[in-house]
Amino acid sequence: MDLKKYNFTCPHCKQILNEGDEIELVTKRNHGDNGRIYLSVAFGNYTYKHIPDTDFQKGELVEFHCPKCGSNLASKIYENFASLNMQVDTNINFEVIFSRIAGERKTYVVTEDGIETYQG
């Protein structure tokens, strides 16, 4: 599956959050530090770039927000996960949820056929 051809969108404002092979999100941490994180669109690839450079503490709960509308992307259903939409085409959208806990490499794609699991 070539994920570069799909759009990852905010579930609130529906704006596209990826360009090429990176998804751009805003991070907010408990102690007040904010930044921008660039995540890979490839499921199972947990490398990222963060501006400014930062070291997340293992187990730290990080908030992710839409860079377009500012909405919190915390999943309403899955505790400690963030949620995005993956637009396959104009009629098909899947929910992508990923862990907000630093160091916990878990991503799930919720489709009409079930849940696909990716862990690193």
Element (H, E) at 83: strand 81-89
At 15, is the secondary structure helix, strand, or coil?
coil
Least confident segment among 61-65, 104-108, 110-114: 110-114
Dump pLDDT digits (tens) for 67-98.
Answer: 999 999 999 999 999 999 999 888 889 999 99
**Euclidean distance between CA atoms 77 and 44, whole angstroms:** 22
Q: What is the pLDDT of residue 95?
A: 96
Phi then psi for residue 16, to 5 deg, are -75, 130
Q: Does 1 score more than 70 pLDDT?
A: no
**Euclidean distance between CA atoms 82 and 99, whole angstroms:** 6
Q: Are strands 63-65 and 106-111 parallel, antiparallel or unpaired?
A: unpaired
Q: What is the pLDDT of residue 4?
A: 62
CA 68 vs CA 104, 107, 116: distances in Å: 26, 23, 28
Cα torsion through 52, 53, 56, 62, rounded to 10 = 20
Residue 72 DSSP label: B
Q: Does 102 score more than 70 pLDDT?
A: yes
**Euclidean distance between CA atoms 68 and 85, whole angstroms:** 14
Dump pLDDT digits (tens) for 27-66.
Answer: 999 888 999 999 999 999 999 999 999 989 999 999 999 9
